[in-house]
Amino acid sequence: MIGPNRRNVGLQLTIAQFVCLVCAIWFQAFVESAAAPADSSFLLILAFRIATAAWFAAIYFCFSWLILSKNLKPVDAKLQQQHAESLLTVNELIRTRDAIIFGLAKLAESRDPDTGQHLERISLYSVRMASALRNHPKYKSLVDAEFVRMIGISSVLHDIGKVGVEDRILLKKGRLTPDERVEMQHHPEIGSDCIRQIERRLGNSDFLTMAREIAMSHHERWDGTGYPKGLAQTEIPLAARIVAIADVYDALVSKRIYKDAMPHIDCVQNIGDKAGTQFDPDLIDVFLTIHEQFRDISTRFCDESIDFSDAKPDLITAKQTVPSVVGKEHGGKD
Ligand SMILES: [Fe+2]
């Protein structure tokens, strides 16, 4: 449908065209016949007519330009304003979505009282790793600003499947039995299924795909001995490989009811030693260049405020052994 503004512009252009045409006819009828009478040479008359046509075409072009620029500027400004308002709305929706997702993940995580600010730290570690990968020759084509933004929020859903694990296992203060460990190791599939259900309702989305991959594969290992599927190397989605490092670092560096916090430098050594076995060696190279950022995050979001006073005394005294592979040796609770 043609709007009033377009109709107005069309009318003005038609008037301009009409005025130019009348002027050209007048010019030809009176001026040309005086300057180049009919008995002039053919070439002179032709040259005069070409010059006349060019002159009035140029005048018409100037008229058109003035009319269009005068009328379209307000339209451009209005479109720009609408575009800016749309961007604001989209940004607001994204912020709202991210806040709701974080709130739900936090709610799920709250069942396990000794994880403190685990989600905040995982998000920041993952973002720092992904940001560093943007300069890595092997990964810079896979990791862009959108990837970094998405991993910042989708990583908080990595353990959402723990809502499907029974309290007697999730909240157990000691080591899990083999059967309990098997039960606990279902949490990646539970989380992935949950996110898949959301995808079915909403349709495909890069964010949900990444969240599902992280939930499913953050306990896989580079050498194929992880769970739940035993994926190896690049079969494991990149985002999940990043979160795996973040998750283990956080488990090592944080105080838990069954262990003390490991010093940062020992965590770095521990993780570095698992390059090529548990972790993607290229990602470990990146981790080793930015590990001080991990230390800063863990310091900023430390869980010193967590109160372990209601823990069983025998567990506190027996907590000194730090597992070499967190998440498996102590029963897979991280
Ligand atoms: Fe997990």
Check pLDDT > 70 for residue 315. Answer: no
Which domain, by its residues, includes 214?
113-317
Do 181 and 292 share a structural domain?
Answer: yes
| Residue 177 CA to ligand 1 centre (angstroms) | 17
| Residue 217 CA to ligand 1 centre (angstroms) | 9
322 vs 156, 253, 291, CA distance in Å?
24, 10, 20
Residue 327 lies in a domain: no
Do 166 and 300 share a structural domain?
Answer: yes
Q: Say what the pLDDT of residue 37 is.
A: 67
Peptide bond into 228 cis (omega under 30): yes
Q: Are 297 and 128 in contact (CB under 8 A)?
A: yes
Do 43 and 150 share a structural domain?
Answer: no
Q: Say what the pLDDT of residue 2 is.
A: 47
- Alpha-carbon distance 135 to 144, whole Å? 10
Do 81 and 145 share a structural domain?
Answer: no
When pLDDT is cut at 50, 70 and 90, the band that residue 16 belongs to is confident
Do 127 and 29 share a structural domain?
Answer: no
Number of domains observed in the structure of the chain: 2
Tell me which of 86, 102, 125 is where a domain ends. 86
Do 58 and 146 share a structural domain?
Answer: no
Do 77 and 209 share a structural domain?
Answer: no
272 vs 112, 267, 276, 283, 317, CA distance in Å?
28, 8, 9, 10, 29
| Residue 27 CA to ligand 1 centre (angstroms) | 86
Kindly state the tokens that stand for 35: 């300057």
pLDDT tens for 52-74 read: 788 778 887 887 888 777 776 77
| Residue 219 CA to ligand 1 centre (angstroms) | 6
Mean pLDDT score of the chain: 83
Residue 108 lies in a domain: no
Do 165 and 41 share a structural domain?
Answer: no
Kindly state the tokens that stand for 151: 């991993």
When pLDDT is cut at 50, 70 and 90, the band that residue 304 belongs to is low
Beta-bridge partner residues of 259 = 256
Do 242 and 140 share a structural domain?
Answer: yes
| Residue 334 CA to ligand 1 centre (angstroms) | 6
| Residue 157 CA to ligand 1 centre (angstroms) | 10
